[in-house]
Amino acid sequence: MAGIDLHSGHIIANVEDRHCSLEFIALLKRFDEYYPSEAVIRVVLDNHSAPISKETRAYLGSRSGRFEYVHTPKHGSWLNLIECAFSKMARTFWRHIRVKSVDELKARILKGIDEFNASPVVFRWNKFDLGVA
């Protein structure tokens, strides 16, 4: 699980065996530590169940006003920029790799994220023709 800061391009990630509520809460806690306490953290999410689970809602209740969710439409997964970052990693430095263990794979994922963070790129939407006259 990971998130990308739209202002700086910095990626915050946790590599987990599962993607359930407890792992999502651990990622939210990393966001909470990373950003100044007065900041409101807007999280753009796909339609996964972990962000709305009972456990996650309990954590968010303990951090009232700290997080705001923005959900992408079901047909708009391309809007999820962290998915784009992982796609780029898969097409570049993970292509044709062989690993001996899950731990080695996790280490390579984190190394890739560290490489991205060494020179982060801020994503900028370009204007495009919507075909509206």
What are the tens digits of pLDDT across the range 14-34? 888 888 889 989 999 999 999
User: What is the rounded CA–CA span in Å between residue 24 and residue 55?
Assistant: 10
Residue 7 confidence class, pLDDT cut points 50, 70, 90: confident
Q: Transcribe 105-131 into DSSP letters.
A: HHHHHHHHHHHHHHS-----PPP----
Q: What is this structure's pTM?
A: 0.78
What are the tens digits of pLDDT across the range 36-71? 999 999 888 776 666 778 898 899 999 989 998 887
Identify the weakest region by mean pLDDT among 53-67, 84-98, 109-123: 84-98
Max Cα–Cα distance, the chain, nearest Å: 56
Its CATH class, for the domain covering 2-118, is: alpha beta
